[in-house]
Amino acid sequence: MPRAENYFQDFLNYLRVERNLAKNTQQAYMDDLDDFWKFLFSRDINEPGKVDHQTLTQYAQDLKQRHMAETSVARHFSSLRAYYKFLVMEGYLEKDPTQFLDSPRLPASLPKILNIEDIEMLLEAVDTESPLGLRDRALFELMYAGGMRVSEVCDLTMEQVLMDEDLVLVRGKGNKERVVPLGGEAKKWLIEYFEHGRPSLQKRHFNEGIIFLNNRGKPLQRKGIWFILKKLAKKAGLKKPVSPHTFRHSFATHLLEGGADLRMVQEMLGHVDISTTQIYTHLDSTYLKEVHSSFHPRARKR
């Protein structure tokens, strides 16, 4: 039987071509597998067919001894399941040793959101007197208006913004397309950025029409957006944890609080399964209970 590393390229091709996963997701799978095979090689195991349930149990113990977070352990196990499922599917192996591998039970956690006042504080903290400031205001207005993932915003091109129709054509996970409303404020700041910000940033770099550019004229990256947002949150005086995904969570929650239909929110978020979107209904219920507890005269225990 070929050595384990001989399958890596085949598996990577499978993730890229057949499952059409994003590069970051592909890399996460490969990093997890690399960790697993380092564990195996330390025990003189160099073939995937020699891995059994006992080996996997020992690996789980090894992860625990390294004080790895349960969320990270669960992700490692998910990567192993995908890898062995691929090996069986392609006929490299007959049995899948991960079939009875138990992932740690993760506590149900609701996504962190910002209230409307927090969002406004963040947006107003942007200095729009500079090209970079116009970029940042347009960027975060758009993320909040459309509930877009940070990767979707990074890849967004000029041709995807349909100004006359007040719509944005978004290419999401698996290269699936969806349409989200642009919104009045986001449109206003995008126009400002297009007219007075982006031309100064574009320079001579070939950027394939990417909308959001860094100060060198190259496409703005995920890490850059994280860095900008952290500085902005500090400037705005926000004490809550903030990430680019916080805008997406806030977008969905505020729509549902305002009475939006769950199916419409699912469509705008690009969720394949409505159960993924339903977490925001739980979040909304939590918010309602907090409001009731705070303001209803009979809600508090005497």
The CATH fold assigned to 116-294 is hpI Integrase; Chain A (1.10.443)
- Mean pLDDT over all residues of the chain? 83
Catalytic: which of 173, 178, 205, 222?
Answer: 173
* Residue 245 annotated in active site: yes
- Asked if residue 136 has pLDDT above 50, the reply is yes
Catalytic: which of 137, 149, 187, 198?
Answer: 149
Q: Are 4 and 40 within 8 A, CB to CB?
A: yes
Round to whole Å and give the CA distance between 133 and 139: 10
Domain boundaries, given as residue ranges, for the chain: 4-89, 116-294
* Residue 149 annotated in active site: yes
Catalytic: which of 76, 198, 249, 271?
Answer: 271
Per-residue pLDDT of 47-90, as tens digits, reads: 888 898 889 999 989 988 998 887 788 888 889 999 999 999 88
Percent of the chain residues topping a pLDDT of 70:
85
* Residue 95 annotated in active site: no
Catalytic: which of 245, 282, 289, 292?
Answer: 245
- Asked if residue 42 has pLDDT above 60, the reply is yes
Mean per-residue pLDDT, 240-264: 83
Taking phi first (over 0 means left), then psi (-120 to 50 degrees means alpha), and beta for anything else, what does residue 51 get?
beta
Catalytic: which of 135, 187, 198, 248?
Answer: 248
Residue type, 236: A
Question: Distances from the Cα of 234 to the Cαs of 45, 150, 225, 231, 302, in angstroms?
Answer: 49, 20, 14, 5, 39
Smallest CA-to-CA distance from 229 within 215, 202, 216, 247 is with 247
222 or 207, higher pLDDT: 222
Question: What size, in residues, is the chain?
Answer: 302
Q: Are 234 and 148 within 8 A, CB to CB?
A: no
Instruction: Point out which residues pair with 213 in neighbouring strands.
Output: 219
Band (pLDDT 50/70/90 cuts) for residue 302 is very low
Q: For domain 4-89, which architecture applies?
A: Orthogonal Bundle (1.10)
124 or 102, higher pLDDT: 124
* Residue 7 annotated in active site: no
